[in-house]
Amino acid sequence: MSVLKQVSRSSYKPIYIQISDQIREMINSGELALGSRIWSEHEIMNKYDVSRNTAQKAIESLEKEGIVSRQQGMGSFVTQPKVAYGLQELISFTEETIVKGLKPTSKVLRFGKEHPDPKHANNLKISTDDWVYELERIRMANNYPISHQISFLPVKLCPELERYDFESQSLYEILQQDYNHVLSWKKIIVSPISAGERFAEMFDIPQQTPLLLTDSVTFLVAGIPIESNINIFLSERYEFTVISQRGISSKGLEIK
């Protein structure tokens, strides 16, 4: 890996940021591919004539961004950015993946009409005799599977939903643009689980690998539930963000 340019010791920008900026440029340009080892602290110290503290901070700043991961005894390597799942912001998988500079794709495992079980009927405030669409997908970033998602939506709120291709189209965009629904907020319960045989094979990971399960309900602006959703996340590819405010009533997480 070659040095793009020398650091400026008179710049307003700290030296460690100048170094991390150069490494980031190499990652973004493809000079450093996914899985490539970046410079070690000693290599940075020698190349830039900086202290160990400066070299360490340069690497740590890239780790905090999620584009570099440290492996004990081996060094630091380029990794896929984590997709930020913001519990304070209601955005689609497609939107949150694109924001991270990754390409979102999906594989539909099942899509059709059925009667909901009592849990999803209760979430959607409908009867078990009503009809819902069940949409099961594997969600991918840069063709890498990172979540398994099952969504249940009342047929009466989005009739003829089967005409859409959910391997290439965003569910939330369709609900907003084609059905004129205004999505307002989502209630999410997060639980830790471990990978069984099915999800180990799906994500190509060892069994018992830690995963995250979210059980959520999405509401329209009028308070009408439109989606009951179950997500299984590959936790190494997701980071969850929570914003808490003191003294203000909010629709936060429920802990069970």
**C-alpha–C-alpha distance, residues 218 and 201, integer Å:** 29
> Is there a contact between 116 and 151 (Cβ–Cβ < 8 Å)?
no
Of 46, 78, 110, the last residue of a domain is: 78
Pair (108, 219) in one structural domain: yes
- CATH code for position 66: 1.10.10.10
Helices 15-29 & 52-65, crossing angle to 10 degrees?
50
Pair (206, 101) in one structural domain: yes
Region 52-59: mean pLDDT is 92
Burial degree of 120 (CB within 10 A; 0-12, 13-18, 19+): buried
Residue 29: its pLDDT value, please?
75
**C-alpha–C-alpha distance, residues 194 and 213, integer Å:** 9
User: Is the pLDDT at 92 greater than 70, yes or no?
Assistant: no
pLDDT, mean over the chain: 82
Among 16-30, 77-91, 233-247, whose mean pLDDT is lowest? 77-91
Residue with the bigger pLDDT between 245 and 76: it is: 76
Residue 124: its pLDDT value, please?
96
Domain of residue 118 covers 83-241
Of 38, 59, 78, the last residue of a domain is: 78
User: Is the pLDDT at 35 greater than 60, yes or no?
Assistant: yes
Instruction: Examine residue 253 and state whether it is found in any structural domain, yes or no.
Output: no
Q: Tell me the whole-structure pTM to 2 decimals.
A: 0.60
pLDDT interval class at 254 (50, 70, 90): very low
Pair (159, 176) in one structural domain: yes
Pair (94, 68) in one structural domain: no
Of 78, 98, 129, the last residue of a domain is: 78
Pair (104, 73) in one structural domain: no
Share of the chain above pLDDT 70, in %: 80
Pair (69, 24) in one structural domain: yes
Number of domains in the chain: 2
Question: Which residue in 32, 142, 138 sits closest to 98, CA to CA?
Answer: 142
Residue 87: its pLDDT value, please?
47
Pair (19, 48) in one structural domain: yes
pLDDT interval class at 159 (50, 70, 90): very high
Pair (60, 131) in one structural domain: no
User: Is the pLDDT at 64 greater than 90, yes or no?
Assistant: no
Pair (137, 20) in one structural domain: no
> Is there a contact between 61 and 17 (Cβ–Cβ < 8 Å)?
yes
pLDDT interval class at 51 (50, 70, 90): very high
Pair (116, 177) in one structural domain: yes
**C-alpha–C-alpha distance, residues 38 and 77, integer Å:** 6
Pair (132, 99) in one structural domain: yes
